Amino acid sequence: MKLLKTIGLIMLAIALAIQASESVILSSKTGDTLMIHRLNNGELWGSFMITDQVSDSFSGSELIVLQVDQHQPIKLDHQKLCGSPARAEQKVDYTFQAEVATEEWQFSRVATTKPDILKLTGWDKETYQHMKSDRRPEVVDFPIRTPIAIASLGQQVQKGNVIIFRYMTDANEARQAEFKLQADREAINQLFKD
């Protein structure tokens, strides 16, 4: 299984290299990988890949949350395909608390909850910013600086210290991957140059 994931990651890197003019690869202590790509058209995209040290995949029904430093968390929403079957109910809820004076968002806890139809349909904008993503079993691609990206995300990545992803695996394990940006600051800033 690990060999299959490794081959898949190599093929993904080759495919992205064809479209990308430059990339920066970051690793977390948990073995997860974050790639930031500058495409030939100038857009910046991120690819978050689950570690090949485990045989799990991203949970198909649970959300993936991205947060740069203490900025408002971003929910990486699934693309909804016309005619596709409904996804299983979301059972995990991430709790964030905002400090109003500083607008800093602190992660508080992960909890199993009853599904809240209002949250599942996007009525949780007071907690999360929402952004479309392309999600496969071990990889999620998301826009950083494109017409469809959240306007502030590019600046957050360019100036931030850490990017954290919180997600559930298909084995119902809550995981967190943390990527430190300081060591690769110069390479990341090169991606943002027009």
151-188: pLDDT as tens digits:
999 999 999 999 999 888 888 888 899 999 998 999 99
Record the tokens describing residue 142, joined without a space: 């998301």
Count of domains forming the chain? 1
| 7 pLDDT more than 80 | no
- pLDDT-derived band at 127 (thresholds 50, 70, 90) equals low
CA–CA distance, 172 with 184 (Å, rounded to integer): 32
Average pLDDT over residues 43-59: 84
Angstrom CA distances, 113 to 27, 94, 95, 174, stand at 31, 10, 11, 14
Which runs of E-coded beta strand occur in 56-100?
64-68, 74-78, 92-99
Percent of the chain with pLDDT over 70: 63
For residue 172, what are the domain limits? 2-192
CA–CA distance, 63 with 77 (Å, rounded to integer): 7
Asked if 18 contacts 187 with a C-beta cutoff of 8 angstroms, the reply is no
CB atoms within 10 A of CB 80: 9
What pLDDT is recorded for position 107?
55
Average pLDDT over residues 34-50: 93
Task: Find all residues with CB under 8 Å of 45, minimum gap 6, and list them.
Answer: 36, 37, 39, 141, 142, 143, 144, 146
Output the average pLDDT for the chain. 76
| 193 pLDDT more than 80 | yes
Average pLDDT over residues 63-79: 85
Coil, strand or helix at 125: coil
**Is the pLDDT higher at 161 or at 123?**
161
Angstrom CA distances, 112 to 93, 105, 177, stand at 6, 21, 20
Ranked by mean pLDDT, which of 93-97, 111-115, 175-179 comes out on top? 175-179
What pLDDT is recorded for position 21?
73
CA–CA distance, 168 with 144 (Å, rounded to integer): 22
Asked if 77 contacts 131 with a C-beta cutoff of 8 angstroms, the reply is yes
Asked if 8 contacts 138 with a C-beta cutoff of 8 angstroms, the reply is yes
Percent of the chain with pLDDT over 90: 32
| 190 pLDDT more than 60 | yes
**Is the pLDDT higher at 92 or at 79?**
79
What pLDDT is recorded for position 20?
57
